[in-house]
Amino acid sequence: MGVSIFEGLAPYEIDIIAEALYPRSLKAGAEIIREGSFSECMFIILSGKVRVEKDINRTPRPVWYLNAGDCFGEMSLFDRLPRSASVYADTDVDILLMYRVEMEEMFERHPHIAYRVMIQLFRTVSIRMRQVLAQLGPPTPQAPAPAPAASAKS
């Protein structure tokens, strides 16, 4: 099982990252993230499946499922804003936690690793954003561009 954000990294680079990761095992149904809470860590799923829920009109609704190799909670590493959704273990899960402080320290010591991991994180966020936008429906047709104005001759 590969972890997509570590794609393309050499084994020694993954070993360096592993020093900043904390393993945790959770039972099905366990709350991992609560919407609106503050936290500065992301999670990487080693095994199992998680359910992402969004509180819509005070009713929790499942909006996404993630599996082994996926990560979640990555936005809080960068924006330091409240969590935008809740996440629950849908099955028993083994996850890794990466805290912002340790990630920043590791990235300062190993900028080449930082660059490669950041590219993968941005890809992950971009793909998810496109999937969410696709769920909202087809794009609105654009109005035709106005014709260029005729230049006045003097």
- The CATH code of the domain that includes 34 is 2.60.120.10
Full pLDDT tens readout for the chain, 154 residues: 456 788 888 999 999 999 999 999 999 999 999 999 998 899 999 999 999 999 888 888 888 899 999 999 988 888 888 998 999 999 999 999 999 999 899 999 999 998 888 888 888 888 877 877 777 777 677 767 777 776 655 5
Contacts of 116 (CB under 8 A, 6+ apart): 8, 9, 13
Domains identified in the chain, total number: 1
In a domain, 21, yes or no: yes
In a domain, 97, yes or no: yes
In a domain, 147, yes or no: no
Stated pTM of the model: 0.78
Contacts of 98 (CB under 8 A, 6+ apart): 17, 20, 21, 22, 41, 42, 43, 44, 77
In a domain, 151, yes or no: no
In a domain, 148, yes or no: no
List the structure tokens of 22: 């904390």
Distance CA 125, CA 22 (A): 22
In a domain, 32, yes or no: yes
In a domain, 149, yes or no: no
Distance CA 127, CA 58 (A): 27
Q: Dihedral sign for Cα 120, 122, 124, 130, please.
A: negative
In a domain, 150, yes or no: no
CB 1, CB 46: distance < 8 Å? yes
Domain around 121: 4-136
